């Protein structure tokens, strides 16, 4: 799909991968609706981009609420007349607890944002694109949707779900003119490990300072890639209508390890989580 003059909707657009993608879509000549739950930061970023002359509009929402995602679609159509590209990207990290100690509130939050948020985006936008006969949906999963590690059970459950949903969707949409991509990064330098900053207060989740993520934070500082690189990979995939977006070489080895050990009937094990690019 050509991007110049088209309309994109990006969720999770106030920070990290979503912000970098919005900036890249603008640079490609698109109009962009930037959607996020973090209103002050979203409005700040949109004002900055508008001051540079970008055609960009903010929309504050919680993607785990289907009615708010439908309202995002209506806002985008009212603002720019169509939607050609949906980047279903808003997400939150795990809570760093063993799966059997993950509380129902944490399950509800992670599955609600990371899996149902993507599902609601697909439900809200796909008919519009099929009727247009043109469009592309990029769903953000993770390497965590292809192979597992300890302490991230809810996150893995959500991201494996996004991979499965996306694989199904691309088969269902064959021949409609609507493409699907599934983004599966390993570490990217964003605020993902501070995700509980946006958790609803009633869930009582610990704020970022209290989440035991020291090891992962050190990987982030030394090994994570720039979100702008991921944004470039997304644009390439939309242009070439490629399904898999694997941003890190190491992901190929980890996915292969999982698949081969499954074929052998081995008990799951992981290759070292060394954050290698
Ligand atoms: N950073 C990584 O290493 C990495 C690796 C693999 C996958 N991912 C995925 O990339 C996506 C983007 O995350 P990021 O790394 O840029 O992190 P980030 O925290 O920098 O950005 C995530 C954005 O999503 C928004 N958000 C959170 N909950 C929301 C909700 N309920 N409704 C709407 N917006 C909400 C946040 O406010 C934030 O702006 C996520 O789906 C994440 O799981 C990240």
pLDDT at 135 over 90: yes
**Cα(first)–Cα(last) distance of the chain, in Å?**
28
For the CA of 185, the nearest atom of ligand 1: 6
List CB contacts of 100: < 8 A, sequence separation 6 or more: none
> Which element (helix H / strand E) includes 167?
helix 153-172
**Structural tokens at position 179:** 């493409």
Task: Please write the tens of the pLDDT for every residue from 144-186.
Answer: 999 998 989 999 999 999 999 999 999 999 999 999 999 999 9
Stretch 69-96: mean pLDDT: 96
User: What pTM, to 2 d.p., does this model score?
Assistant: 0.95
What lines the ligand 1 site, CB under 6 Å? 11-12, 14-18, 36-38, 61-64, 89-92, 113-114, 140, 142, 185, 187-188, 190-192, 195, 198
Catalytic residues: 155
| Greater model confidence, 197 or 64 | 64
Identify the structural domains of the chain with CATH numbers, from first to last.
7-264 (3.40.50.720)
User: Between the CA of residue 91 and those of 80, 210, 214, what are the distances in Å?
Assistant: 25, 20, 20
How crowded is residue 269: how many other Cβ atoms within 10 Å of its Cβ?
9
* DSSP letter, residue 112: I
| Cα Rg of the chain, angstroms | 18
Task: Please write the tens of the pLDDT for every residue from 178-202.
Answer: 999 999 999 999 999 889 888 888 8
């Amino acid at each position: 799909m050509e991007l110049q003059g088209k309309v994109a909707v990006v969720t999770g657009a106030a920070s990290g991968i979503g912000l970098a993608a919005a900036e890249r879509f603008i640079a490609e000549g698109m109009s962009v609706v930037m959607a996020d739950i973090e209103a002050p930061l979203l409005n700040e970023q949109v004002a900055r981009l508008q001051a540079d002359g970008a055609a960009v509009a903010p929309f504050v929402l919680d993607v785990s609420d289907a009615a708010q995602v439908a309202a995002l679609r209506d806002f985008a159509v009212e603002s720019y007349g169509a939607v050609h590209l949906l980047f279903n990207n808003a997400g939150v990290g795990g809570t760093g607890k063993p799966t059997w100690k993950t509380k129902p509130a944490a399950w509800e939050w992670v599955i609600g944002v990371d899996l149902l948020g993507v599902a609601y985006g697909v439900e809200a936008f796909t008919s519009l694109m099929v009727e247009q006969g043109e469009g592309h949906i990029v769903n953000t999963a993770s390497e965590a949707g292809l192979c597992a590690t300890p302490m991230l059970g809810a996150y893995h459950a959500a991201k494996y779900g996004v991979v499965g949903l996306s694989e199904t969707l691309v088969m269902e949409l064959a021949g409609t003119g609507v493409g699907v991509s599934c983004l599966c990064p390993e570490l990217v330098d964003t605020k993902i490990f501070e995700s509980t900053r946006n958790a609803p207060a009633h869930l009582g989740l610990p704020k970022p300072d209290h989440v035991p993520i020291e090891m992962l934070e050190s990987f982030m500082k030394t090994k994570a890639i720039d979100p702008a690189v991921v944004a470039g990979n997304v644009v390439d995939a939309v242009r070439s209508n490629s399904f898999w977006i694997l941003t890190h070489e190491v992901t190929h080895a980890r996915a292969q390890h999982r698949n081969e050990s499954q074929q052998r009937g081995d008990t799951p094990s992981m290759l070292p989580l060394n954050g290698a690019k």
